[in-house]
Amino acid sequence: MALKMALMLHQKGKTQMKKKKYKEALDVLIMAEEAFSLCDSKLIQKVDNMPMLQLDIVWCYFVLRDVSCLEVAGTRLEKARVGFERSHGKDSSRFRVLQAGRQADLAIYVRLELLEGVVAYHNGHTEKARESLTSAQAKYLQLQVPDEAISMLMDMGYEARSAKRALKMTGYDIQSSVDLLCEEREKKIRRQEEDRERQREILEQMRYGKTPMNKAVDLQKLKDLTNIGFEKYLAAEALRINENDAEKALDLLTNPEENCILQNKIQARRSRATRGSSSSRAAAARTARAINNRQAFVSAPPHAVDGNAPPHAANGNPQEGNQADGNLPEGNDVDSKPPEGNDVDSKPPEGNDVDSKPPEGNDVDGNPPEGNNVDDNPQEGNQDVVMTDEVAVNDEDTNSIPVPARDVSMESELADELTGDALDDYDIEVSDEGQAIAEYMSLLESVASS
């Protein structure tokens, strides 16, 4: 959990840096560093996430011109240098092998050596500053891609940014750049297919509901049970109520008595769901009729004391909604108060059927709802819910454990920021670094001439 939080915070910080919001980015990156400190140190030392984080923090110091952080910046850069050497290998030999000889990490070393030179310059170490800045300048020049090469790849149908990145990482070799672009395109297609497949799995799991411990049904175990010959919706419910324990689910499914009870419960829930939807539509219609009747009653003119028809009914026709003999409007009591809960034709209270049957779901003799045995556990009927691929059923008490609130907007934002591209973190636009190198090289020349 700490590693996930650290990675998400680091990604959030890098996004703020791309938006030129360096103060906000620095705050987030410091939180990411705290999260990384809670992770397994042996695991962190094998990857370059922590060195990259240190480099990003010092870059924020530099852009914000925070001179007070010079001392801590030097310490952070030392950690970054050691971390890169440990994870990339000496002279990036290990990194080159992993990336098929590509120079994907060249841009981060431009930034690292630039910052090392800046810190050395402000600490009065001019020779060390000159050495670092000269090395950074040489690497920077290697990253300047000829426009002709970019145009050639763009003529093949590739975007300018992708073409430029591929050329930088392959040393301007056109064929190697094309190979890299084709490889990245295939990876992107595979990621999209995997994302779609994962989305289908999530939707399928949602149909089956959650276990009592608020876990999704294990689709691999479900597949194993269906391969044996069990129906999918039945196997899913067996796994759900048994917390994905495949052995217990298999015992339940192979026991004729328990299997029959499980099928009856599922069928009962389907029946209640069907009746519930029909009852909701009927109740809505009765409510609409009752509202129309009350509106007609309110808008009707007052009656005479003797109960005769209103004066405007000169032709002898009764007022609309009243009886011909001058009685009060239909469905009202003698004292002109509308009966509570009844509709126009004095039907029983809403929720009952026209023939005064008891509330839906109970039998006439007051027995409990269909599908529940008298000796059944009362809570089990509420918690054991099946979401089948034939009929999706929503139950009121699907989960026995409340689901924590989710920040959907934050999740969507983080999902958009995660590209799934392993080389994206190394694709740094070094134009700002080039200007800074030129600035500090001129400062060194001024010091030397003086």
- CA Rg, the chain, in Å? 37
Report whether pLDDT(60) > 90: yes
Q: Is the residue at 195 inside a domain? A: no
Q: Is the residue at 179 inside a domain? A: no
CA–CA distance, 230 with 222 (Å, rounded to integer): 9
Q: Is the residue at 442 inside a domain? A: yes
CA-closest candidate to residue 221, choices 253, 267, 264: 253
pLDDT of residue 47: 86
Q: Is the residue at 194 inside a domain? A: no
**pLDDT tens sequence across 362-395:** 443 444 444 444 344 434 444 444 344 333 333 4
Q: Is the residue at 307 inside a domain? A: no
CA–CA distance, 381 with 373 (Å, rounded to integer): 10
What number is the average pLDDT over the span 65-83? 90
Q: Is the residue at 225 inside a domain? A: no
Amino acid at 299: S
How many domains in the chain? 1
Q: Is the residue at 120 inside a domain? A: yes
CA–CA distance, 344 with 367 (Å, rounded to integer): 30
CA–CA distance, 180 with 172 (Å, rounded to integer): 12
Q: Is the residue at 303 inside a domain? A: no
Full residue range of the structural domain in which residue 136 is found: 2-145+434-449
CATH code of the domain in which 440 resides: 1.25.40.10
CA–CA distance, 106 with 165 (Å, rounded to integer): 11
**pLDDT tens sequence across 299-353:** 555 544 444 444 444 444 444 444 434 444 444 443 444 444 444 344 444 444 4
pLDDT of residue 343: 44
CA-closest candidate to residue 266, choices 303, 236, 304: 236
